[in-house]
Structure 1
Amino acid sequence: MNEEQKSAGRIFDLAILRRLYAFVKPYQARFYLLIGIIMLAACLAPLTPLLIRYTIDNVIAMGDYQRLTVMLVIMIGVLVAQAVIQFLNTYLSGWLGQYVIRDIRVQLYRKILHLRLKFFDNTPIGRLVTRSISDVETLADVFSEGMAAIAGDILQLVLIIGVMFYTDWRLAAISLSTIPLMLFSTYVFKEKIKKSFNEVRTAVANLNSFVQEHITGMNIVQIFGSEKIEAEKFRAINNEHRAANIRSIWYYSVYYPVADIISAVAVGLVVWYGAQQIISSDVTFGTVTAFVMFINLFFRPIRMLADRFNTLQMGIVSTDRILKLLDSDEFTLDNGTYAPATIRGAVEFKDVWFAYNNEDWVLRDISFRVNAGETVAFVGATGAGKSSIINLLSRFYDINKGEIRVDGTDIHEYELGHLRRNIGVVLQDVFLFSDTIENNITLGDKRISREKIVEAAKLVGVHDFIERLPGGYEYNVMERGSTLSVGQRQLISFVRAMVQDPKIIVLDEATSSVDTETEEMIQDAIGKLMKGRTAIVIAHRLSTIQKANNIIVVDKGRIVEQGNHEELLQQEGFYANLYRMQYKEVV
């Protein structure tokens, strides 16, 4: 049994509920008001049957029509009060739930924003989306249909039982004689519907994952003519979803009629016994009428408790998942305070060792130095560790051993945001958000003016292209920039890096996905961008790095060669062989 299954079996987990209350604390005034309203509603529940009993036995039986009018006004007042209390209960519980889940969702998203990349390497994105959306939304039901409602129902049951036994213990015993059967059927329903809810949730997750994955990969589906096959797969998954929902509908369809029958049996027993007592003058007609009403008031919360316990259980499971994510220590420590006004851009790696998992070393004893304003290039086979080097520089991952310095200061001493703002990164796989071109360039940074954006776009040579788009810089690039070509997305990513005016530029295969004409345009822009800045370049095309001050060849996580282009050719090693292979391809 895994942890989630254990959590699903717990109705009240005090540790989790205590943590959940911490989110309620900012709204504790309304929370306590809600508790008071629930208690008041429970206290008013037995009042109507008692008023009706009194009216029948002491007003109607006496033919006192004047007092009858007074009693009707009192009963109408009680009904209005109950309606107002019900409104306040529903509104306050919903209001509290929405504010709490808003705060939780914001805190959860902020947590996700600061998680280190290693966490995302090992965690499916769909799981994080579920935590942020579905699991948080479940907590709203905990407030509207969970803890508060259960407390109110239980209090109402206790009060009604007390009033029933105080009024007539014999009728109370008859009324409650069917309770064991009701509790048994409610327990069976609760277990069945809990299992059904889990099946529905699993089916929904499978359905969402399938649709998301196949819409994203629709080009592959259509390229290989797999539409019919994928449609059949979807039909099977959709059938599972339908079957799971029908099972839950079946349990509801059986339980509620059974509960009504049990309630009706209890009413029948009270009427049968009460009629005999009325004939013998041991019980009044008003008392029997009140007990019929008590039974309806008593059995209705019991019918609802099964659903509400399941809601609370699902809320416990969701809260447990959310808290585990909030408690995750998979984040980059930002305890540095060094934030100089200017960074020159000198970079030094000293005896750096790094592994993504345990001691499966990706980088081994890496040492090199780049002076401010110089350009260093890294070449090597796929998986040699080139991209890991630049990830470590920006502290997307932390090293296991060794030291990385910028301007002679350990990068751990820098304030993390300040360090990253001074390192401009252009990746091979460009990600654009579903937003305007301007917002994709500035990433919401209000300090970057339109004039600065245009200036950078002209430098790259992409300004005229942007201006030709509908709306210009306000053009929405859609999800992942799907309305733009690979080269156009790459050019926009260059503008994004330029407007930050970083002192260190990192280009990770930045021109490998563009055509020759676009590459020439980018190379010209790169020359302007690199002027006066430190540049770290990773490239497969050796023609783009021949002017670098230093070229470092990485193989299996180690530096095997380094020098300028001419020096490396003379060494007749890895670089020279790679150069000749690419030269042959060009020829």
Structure 2
Amino acid sequence: MSKPSTTRRLLAYALAYKFKIIGALLILVCAVVAELGGPYITKTIIDRHLSADAGDLGAVLGLIALYMALLAVAGLGNFTQSYMLQSTALRIIQNIRMDLMRHIHRIPLRYFDNTPIGQVVSRIANDTEAVRDLFMSFMATFVVSFVQLTGIFVALFILDVRLALFCLLLPPLFALIMVVHLKYSKGYISIMRARLSDMNAMINESIAVMPIIQAFRREKKTIQEFEVLNEDRYVNQVKQFRVFSLSSRNIVGTIGSLVTAAVVWYFGRESLQSAISFGVFYAFIDYLGRIFQPIIGIFDQLTNAQRAFVSADKVFAIMDIDGAEVEKVDGARRPEGKVKFDNVTFAYKEGEPVLKRISFEARKGETVALVGHTGSGKSSIMNLLLGFYEPHEGAITIDGRDISAMSKQALRKHMGIVLQDPYLFAGDIKFNVSLYNPNISLEQVKQALKDVGAAPFVEQLPGGYDEPVIERGSTLSSGQRQLISFARALAFDPSILILDEATANIDSETEGLIQRALKVVSEGRTTLVIAHRLSTIRGADQILVLHRGEIVERGNHEELMALEGRYYKMYRLQTGERASSDTQVGGAAFGAVQP
């Protein structure tokens, strides 16, 4: 099914405020009529009173008073219509920006894996702001100019039909110039917007990895890469300005001067052949001069309008990406937590499977650990379980129900996840645990922090549980951030707990705290663990060894060590000569602290 055009979609947003827009346009018409009445009143004063032998001073003063009243009405009307139209434009953009933000949360994770974050930010921030310029310029300039031109031509026809017909040649001529202008500037504007998006993406990436850039002395190279993008945008902007300069005020001013000279010549010739009034001559020149102001206004806004259409195309391109609705799942049943992968095959790129015929089962209260070298498919299994991607073959079930038939919100409602690189939001400690979930009280927050061993260091902070946390939690140590992310997962009381390298970036003392907490927390829950530090998963009920997307070994720690296969070699590589003695340690509970 074809998508509606950008123009139709923008119009649909505007129609939501059609009554307010119509009211503003009616006020605009009244203001234009009041403005255009001025020259006609002046013409009447000149022809009927000033040229008479004995002018009627009372009538003149009355007409002057009417002129002043019309100016006041025009000023008030212009202010009112401008306020109404521009406030409506701001409201429309607010709606577009919110629709875009809502849709981004519906888009599958695959899109964000393949799109730089800076480009997405540019769409929400810069491109919607450019679309705002379209509504502001269109409703405040294009529509106003059209109404003004219509009123001016009506007044010209009242004064002199032949010369008014001659002036009707001006709109098609200016329209042709606009078409040429748009044709040549569109390409430049598209490149300018693309480079702006690229620069935003690069700035975002540079800030995120600034320690790496500085550590590897990549500052100059990064600046050079940015300079290439910046220079390309500058070159195309200069070209666009060149087109604008040649086809806007200059050409309108030149044509305006030529037409004014022709009108003066016409009236001069007429004055020799007939008794044309000076008042008509004055009014016609006044109205003619007013024709070019709205034309210049339209030209001045053409660039903004074109930039806005390019930006609107990019915004709607994101909104056209298929996504899943964010559903309310307050009544979703809590699952027991029986997870089953049945012959699952998956590929990020067609023809390049990263998982091949994966089958395993994790029962309620069990701990299943996934181990293997980087790229073996461990994280891909977790991504499938969380519903970030769909398997190409096979099925994934929870309590016997295929997760493909479940809403993503219901699927994730009773899952907790802790990542290797914990992310903390800007806010305070208690917010980062509860995420403003109304079902999680402050006491539950404190208990979760206590369970993971984070309460002592949190209570020592100046603000305690109200201690501000800046973006990414960079003022806290990696171990402290990890403990808070553990508390976040525990506070939500999941039936399925996912740990993705959750103990990789912490010291031995902090690891001991986490392992003791996990021993208690994992009771009654299905826990899936990705671990490179094999000592942390010795007590797992089942260990799956992955290699190139396949499960090549499975069993508990003792069984796999006795097998002396891939797991045995990995364990010996990590623990050295201690491996043989460690195998004699009894089946400790999951995450038992090693001596």
> CA offset at residue 32 of structure 1?
2.1
Q: Which amino acid aligns with 1:283?
A: I
Structure-2 change in CA distance of 1:522 and 1:49 (3 Å): same
Structure-2 change in CA distance of 1:90 and 1:586 (3 Å): farther
Contact 2:101 2:124 in 1 (8 A): yes
Matched, 1:51 2:41: yes
Contact 2:546 2:553 in 1 (8 A): yes
Q: Which ranges of structure 1 fall in alignment gaps of 5 or more residues?
A: 1-12
Q: Which amino acid aligns with 1:372?
A: K
Structure-2 change in CA distance of 1:336 and 1:356 (3 Å): farther
- Secondary structure of the corresponding residue to residue 427 of structure 2: coil
Match of 2:385 in 1: 393
Structure-2 change in CA distance of 1:504 and 1:179 (3 Å): closer
Match of 2:591 in 1: none
- Secondary structure of the corresponding residue to residue 5 of structure 2: helix
Matched, 1:28 2:18: yes
Contact 2:35 2:71 in 1 (8 A): no
Structure-2 change in CA distance of 1:153 and 1:163 (3 Å): same
Match of 1:468 in 2: 460
Structure-2 change in CA distance of 1:300 and 1:231 (3 Å): same
Deviations 1:418-477 (A, max 9, x none): 331211111112222222222222222232111111111111111121222232223332
CA distance in 1, matches of 2:566, 2:378: 15
Q: Which amino acid aligns with 1:109?
A: M
Structure-2 change in CA distance of 1:177 and 1:373 (3 Å): closer
- Secondary structure of the corresponding residue to residue 528 of structure 2: strand
CA distance in 1, matches of 2:170, 2:325: 60
Contact 1:35 1:148 in 2 (8 A): no
Match of 2:255 in 1: 262
> CA offset at residue 509 of structure 1?
0.8
Match of 1:141 in 2: 133
Q: Which amino acid aligns with 1:295?
A: L
Deviations 1:354-373 (A, max 9, x none): 22233422222222111111
> CA offset at residue 565 of structure 1?
0.9
Match of 1:375 in 2: 367
More off after superposition, 176-185 vs 374-383 = 176-185
What are the residue-to-residue correspondences of 1:336-347 with 2, within 5 Å?
A: 339-340=332-333, 342-347=334-339
Structure-2 change in CA distance of 1:371 and 1:529 (3 Å): same
- Secondary structure of the corresponding residue to residue 305 of structure 1: helix
Deviations 1:376-410 (A, max 9, x none): 11111211111111221221212222222222222
Contact 2:249 2:299 in 1 (8 A): no
Match of 1:64 in 2: 56
CA distance in 2, matches of 1:519, 1:323: 47
More off after superposition, 69-78 vs 399-408 = 399-408
Match of 1:499 in 2: 491
Match of 1:125 in 2: 117
More off after superposition, 486-495 vs 263-272 = 263-272
Q: Which amino acid aligns with 2:287?
A: F
CA distance in 2, matches of 1:173, 1:391: 70
Deviations 1:48-73 (A, max 9, x none): 22222222112322312111111112
TM-score for both structures, normalised by structure 2: 0.88
Structure-2 change in CA distance of 1:586 and 1:332 (3 Å): farther
Matched, 1:538 2:530: yes
Match of 2:307 in 1: 314
Contact 1:176 1:266 in 2 (8 A): no
Structure-2 change in CA distance of 1:415 and 1:186 (3 Å): closer
CA distance in 1, matches of 2:462, 2:329: 44
Structure-2 change in CA distance of 1:470 and 1:197 (3 Å): farther
More off after superposition, 158-167 vs 463-472 = 158-167
Contact 1:568 1:576 in 2 (8 A): yes
CA distance in 1, matches of 2:544, 2:148: 77
CA distance in 1, matches of 2:4, 2:562: 72
> CA offset at residue 110 of structure 1?
1.1
More off after superposition, 286-295 vs 300-309 = 300-309
Structure-2 change in CA distance of 1:194 and 1:551 (3 Å): closer
Identical pairs, percent: 37
TM-score for both structures, normalised by structure 1: 0.89
> CA offset at residue 147 of structure 1?
5.2
**Which runs of structure 1 show a deviation greater than 6 angstroms over 4 or more consecutive aligned residues?**
176-181, 332-338
Deviations 1:338-360 (A, max 9, x none): 822x3222211222222223342
CA distance in 2, matches of 1:337, 1:400: 30
Matched, 1:324 2:317: yes
Match of 1:4 in 2: none
Matched, 1:107 2:99: yes
Q: Which amino acid aligns with 1:110?
A: R
Contact 2:428 2:469 in 1 (8 A): yes
> CA offset at residue 247 of structure 1?
5.2
Contact 1:336 1:414 in 2 (8 A): no
Q: Which amino acid aligns with 1:128?
A: V
Match of 1:168 in 2: 160
More off after superposition, 149-158 vs 530-539 = 149-158
Contact 1:146 1:309 in 2 (8 A): no
> CA offset at residue 128 of structure 1?
1.7
Contact 2:429 2:466 in 1 (8 A): yes
Structure-2 change in CA distance of 1:111 and 1:176 (3 Å): closer
Structure-2 change in CA distance of 1:40 and 1:413 (3 Å): same
Structure-2 change in CA distance of 1:84 and 1:248 (3 Å): farther
CA distance in 1, matches of 2:353, 2:119: 28
Contact 1:278 1:285 in 2 (8 A): no
CA distance in 2, matches of 1:386, 1:356: 14
Matched, 1:416 2:381: no
CA distance in 2, matches of 1:473, 1:349: 40
- Secondary structure of the corresponding residue to residue 367 of structure 1: strand
Q: Which amino acid aligns with 1:530?
A: S
CA distance in 1, matches of 2:353, 2:195: 40
Matched, 1:571 2:571: no
> CA offset at residue 270 of structure 1?
2.4
> CA offset at residue 75 of structure 1?
1.3
More off after superposition, 223-232 vs 112-121 = 223-232
Contact 2:425 2:470 in 1 (8 A): yes
More off after superposition, 121-130 vs 389-398 = 121-130
Contact 2:119 2:197 in 1 (8 A): no
- Secondary structure of the corresponding residue to residue 356 of structure 1: strand
CA distance in 2, matches of 1:386, 1:478: 31
